[in-house]
């Protein structure tokens, strides 16, 4: 007999099962609420775009475009790619729909999967998830950058991620960065034979990325390299100084990190990263920065400024599970145990009413004896067992049993609904 293949999730992807997805739902909903409180509105984007959009925005010499994108030919488009990040897509949508004509800065957020072909490791997958936010408009005021960072830390506080560290830096602009990059390239050439293959290649293609190297043998060399913060133009120095003043005004703790250059070409001036405990060396859960020329680079209106961030949802949730404070999430409120033919229509009716009041209710499709029913209720983590037998059906009452301590009481329908409603308000269930 021919054996049947057992299908498994492709390497670098995984299923988020119900035991964990409840935490994901809570995390995403909490993020939506915090973002909305800062007047951010959701934008929903396609998961694939023209490959050129990412090549032009991220940079053709970056690892993301050169090695990590899932790219394929399409019948109607010459080349399309699954999105490796969403900032380029947000900018494309901003341009395409004329959002520069709308009043004020456009404050947008997104939630969804991204795709990169890279080596899977703890908290890092080929299909991964991000929650991101972008501000696009005419202003590059440091107060915008500071409010973004304030919002991030408020969000992480609501999510139970207390042991976080914010790092900030400035990578300059198109006036001052090119001169620094050339000086950095010259310095790197003098130590090229002491660097690894990736850093050697990046000397010519993207020398800033060498600063982001995690190889232990390269750290001492990198520490001796010239620092971009010492080569900023007057305007960039002032912008960075004002940003730090804004952060102090908001009582936001931060650390300066001169090596924080991020991996994408479109960043200008402010860059930042947030790390959290429980993730080992790959402990960044959020990164972002300013990209003032990106909209124009993609064919949009000149003078549009931009700043944004992306939270790595996979890593953030892992950090909550391993070192944060996961919430007590609502579970199964009521398991209905019914016995006898008269009990079934009563059970169906009361289940509908309890669910309408916001409670989570399990009504088994088949009748079992009371002991087996309550045993299943306990295994499912139900808070209460609602017993409807012949006696209850005859008297028009219900027996409600609290499974944690076996305390039970006989209640009328109105008393039952009132009691469970007060429980729901108290538990948030």
Place domain 18-176+232-323 in its CATH homologous superfamily.
Bira Bifunctional Protein; Domain 2 (3.30.930.10)
**Segments of the chain assigned to CATH 3.30.930.10:** 18-176+232-323
Kind of pairing between the strands at 384-388 and 284-290: unpaired
CB 399 within 8 Å of CB 416 = no
Per-residue pLDDT tens digits for 111-128:
999 999 887 777 788 999
pLDDT of residue 1: 54
**Segments of the chain assigned to CATH 3.40.50.800:** 334-427
Per-residue pLDDT tens digits for 136-194:
999 999 999 999 999 999 999 998 887 889 999 999 988 888 898 899 999 899 888 88
Spatial distance between the Cα atoms of 55 and 46, rounded to a whole number of angstroms: 17
The CATH number that domain 334-427 falls under is 3.40.50.800
The contacts of residue 62 (CB under 8 Å, 6+ apart) are 206, 209, 263, 264, 265
Which residue spans within 44-95 are E strands per DSSP? Answer: 48-50, 71-72, 80-82
Q: One digit per residue, pLDDT tens: the chain, 429 residues? A: 567 888 999 999 999 998 889 999 999 999 999 999 999 999 999 999 999 998 888 776 666 776 788 888 887 768 899 999 999 999 999 999 999 999 999 999 999 999 998 877 777 889 999 999 999 999 999 999 999 999 999 999 998 887 889 999 999 988 888 898 899 999 899 888 888 888 888 888 888 888 888 888 888 888 889 898 889 999 999 999 999 999 999 999 999 998 888 666 678 899 999 998 766 556 889 999 999 989 999 999 999 999 999 999 999 998 888 876 777 777 899 999 999 889 999 999 999 999 998 899 999 998 889 999 999 999 999 999 999 998 888 898 899 999 988 888 989 888 888 888 887 776 544
């Amino acid at each position: 007999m021919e054996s049947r293949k057992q299908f498994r999730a492709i390497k670098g992807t995984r299923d988020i099962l119900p035991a964990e997805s409840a935490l994901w739902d809570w995390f995403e909903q909490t993020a939506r609420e915090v973002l909305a409180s800062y007047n951010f509105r959701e934008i929903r984007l396609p998961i694939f775009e023209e490959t050129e959009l990412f090549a032009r925005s991220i940079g053709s010499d970056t690892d993301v475009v050169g090695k990590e994108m899932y790219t394929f030919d399409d019948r109607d488009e010459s080349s399309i790619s699954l999105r490796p990040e969403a900032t380029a897509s947000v900018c494309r949508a901003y341009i395409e729909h004329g959002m520069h004509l709308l009043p004020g800065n456009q404050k947008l957020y997104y939630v969804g999967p991204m795709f990169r072909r890279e080596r899977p490791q703890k908290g890092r997958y080929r299909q991964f998830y991000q929650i991101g936010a972008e501000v696009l408009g005419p202003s590059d005021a440091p107060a915008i950058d500071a409010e973004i960072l304030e919002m991030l830390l408020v969000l992480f506080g609501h999510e139970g991620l207390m042991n976080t560290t914010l790092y900030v830096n400035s990578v300059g602009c198109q006036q001052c960065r090119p001169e620094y990059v050339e000086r950095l390239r010259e310095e790197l050439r003098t130590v090229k034979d002491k660097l690894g293959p990736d850093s050697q290649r990046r000397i010519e293609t993207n020398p800033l990325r060498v600063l982001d190297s995690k190889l232990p043998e390269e750290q001492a060399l990198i520490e001796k390299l010239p620092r971009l913060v010492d080569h900023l133009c007057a305007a960039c120095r002032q912008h960075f100084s004002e940003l730090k003043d804004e952060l102090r005004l908001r009582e936001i703790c931060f650390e300066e990190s001169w090596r924080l250059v991020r991996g994408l070409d479109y960043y200008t001036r402010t860059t930042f990263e947030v790390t959290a405990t429980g993730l080992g060396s790959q402990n960044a859960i959020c990164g972002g920065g300013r990209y003032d020329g990106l909209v124009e680079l993609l064919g949009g209106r000149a003078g549009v400024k931009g700043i944004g961030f992306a939270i790595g949802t996979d890593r953030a949730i892992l950090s909550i599970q391993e070192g944060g404070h996961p919430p007590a999430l609502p579970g199964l409120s009521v398991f209905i145990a019914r016995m006898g033919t008269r009990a079934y229509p009563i059970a169906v009716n009361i289940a509908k009413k309890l669910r309408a009041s916001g409670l989570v209710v399990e009504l088994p499709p088949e009748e079992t004896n009371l002991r087996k029913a309550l045993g299943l209720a306990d295994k499912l983590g139900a808070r209460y067992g609602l017993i409807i037998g012949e006696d209850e059906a005859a008297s028009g009452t219900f027996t409600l049993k609290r499974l944690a301590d076996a305390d039970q009481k006989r209640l009328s329908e109105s008393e039952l609904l009132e009691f469970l409603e007060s429980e729901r308000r108290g538990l948030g269930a």
